Amino acid sequence: MGVEILEQSVEKVVATMPVEGNRQSFGLLHGGASLAVGEAVGSWAAVIHASTLGKTAVGVDVSATHHRSARSGRVTVTATPIHLGRTLTTHEVLIENEDGQRLCTMRITNLLLDRPIPG
């Protein structure tokens, strides 16, 4: 998918992804690619918080609204916390084009677990 992490902390995770290679058959950014990158970035943000508590995180809910699409360039994906608890986290994930226009708004909730996820 070509995702690059630009910034990562408990307060914010920022990544970019090229539209090229992530298009659907009509030449637009694929909605599934938006959801995949948004869930990955939001979950990474939850894992960062969970690690401060000696825990790990797993996704339990994600929802998205697609506002517009893109045909070229790179999108920026930013996850910021709405709630950072001891058992749940919720993050807002914004996907924007190079002009700063909002393409997608997501919300992801992660469950924090006391032990690593079994392999």
Model confidence at 115, pLDDT cuts 50, 70, 90, reads confident
On the question of pLDDT at 118 being above 70, the answer is: no
Sign of CA dihedral 113, 115, 116, 118: negative
On the question of pLDDT at 116 being above 90, the answer is: no
What pLDDT digit, counting tens, does each position of 70-83 carry?
999 999 999 999 99
Q: Quote the CA–CA distance of 85 and 7 in Å, as a whole number.
A: 22
What's at 81, amino acid-wise? P
Average pLDDT, whole number, for the chain?
Answer: 96
Q: Where are the alpha helices (DSSP H) in the chain?
A: 31-52
What pLDDT digit, counting tens, does each position of 14-62 carry?
999 999 999 999 999 999 999 999 999 999 999 999 999 999 999 999 9
What pTM, to 2 d.p., does this model score? 0.94
Q: Quote the CA–CA distance of 86 and 55 in Å, as a whole number.
A: 9
> Per the residue annotation, which of 7, 11, 20, 39 is the catalytic one?
39
Confirm whether 11 is a catalytic residue: no
